[in-house]
């Protein structure tokens, strides 16, 4: 599953950043535990919010955004396991905010944050992203 997911994102030239709130050593350890490699599966770990706005405020820059030097939050697809993280993306104006039920919150908790989609695994995200890419090219 992981290989198909990463291959599709690479084909579409989509950068992948894992948002976290840990120090770099801990983050790299967690990334290794899920079997991902920075530079291959992941373009970089993101950490913290550097723009000064809070998640509930307009202009909030999703953590990890600056790591890949992405300049337009409206092109960011945020996938989150927590309703508060979905709300960060919604408030920031991310292109897509997707809840995933493989983490901390239940389906009902994720729904309360009003994501654009809720998925059960990362592969379910691929047709959603592909549809947006196709629509953008028209």
| 3-54 tens-digit pLDDT | 888 889 889 888 887 766 667 777 788 788 878 888 788 776 665 443 334 4
What is the dihedral sign for C-alpha 30, 34, 39, 44? negative
Q: What is the mean pLDDT of residues 103-116?
A: 92
Q: What tens digit of pLDDT does each residue of 62-71 get?
A: 444 334 445 5
User: pLDDT category, 73, cuts 50, 70, 90?
Assistant: confident
Per-residue pLDDT, 65: 38
Domains of the chain: 2-137 (3.40.50.1000)
In angstroms, the CA 99 to CA 117 distance is 6
3-state SS, the chain, equals CHHHHHHHHHHCCCCCEEEECCCHHHHHHHHHHCCCCECCCECEEEECCCCCCCCCCCCCCCCCHHHHCCCCHHHCEEEECCHHHHHHHHHHCCCEEEEECCCCCCHHHHHCCCCCEEECCHHHHHHHHHHHHHHHHC
User: What is the phi-psi region of residue 89: left when phi exceeds 0, alpha when psi lies from -120 to 50, beta otherwise?
Assistant: alpha
pTM: 0.75
In angstroms, the CA 1 to CA 122 distance is 8
């Amino acid at each position: 599953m992981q290989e198909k997911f990463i291959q599709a994102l690479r084909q579409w030239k989509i950068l992948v950043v894992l948002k976290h709130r840990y120090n770099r050593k801990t983050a790299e350890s967690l990334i290794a535990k899920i079997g991902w490699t920075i530079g291959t599966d992941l373009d970089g770990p993101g950490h913290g919010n550097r723009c000064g706005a809070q998640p509930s405020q307009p202009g909030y820059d999703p953590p990890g955004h600056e790591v890949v030097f992405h300049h337009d939050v409206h092109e960011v697809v945020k996938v989150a396991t927590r309703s508060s993280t979905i709300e960060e993306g919604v408030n920031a104006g991310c292109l897509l905010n997707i809840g995933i039920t493989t983490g901390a919150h239940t389906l009902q908790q994720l729904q309360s944050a009003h994501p654009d989609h809720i998925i059960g695994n990362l592969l379910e995200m691929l047709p959603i992203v592909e549809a947006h890419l196709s629509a953008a090219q028209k």
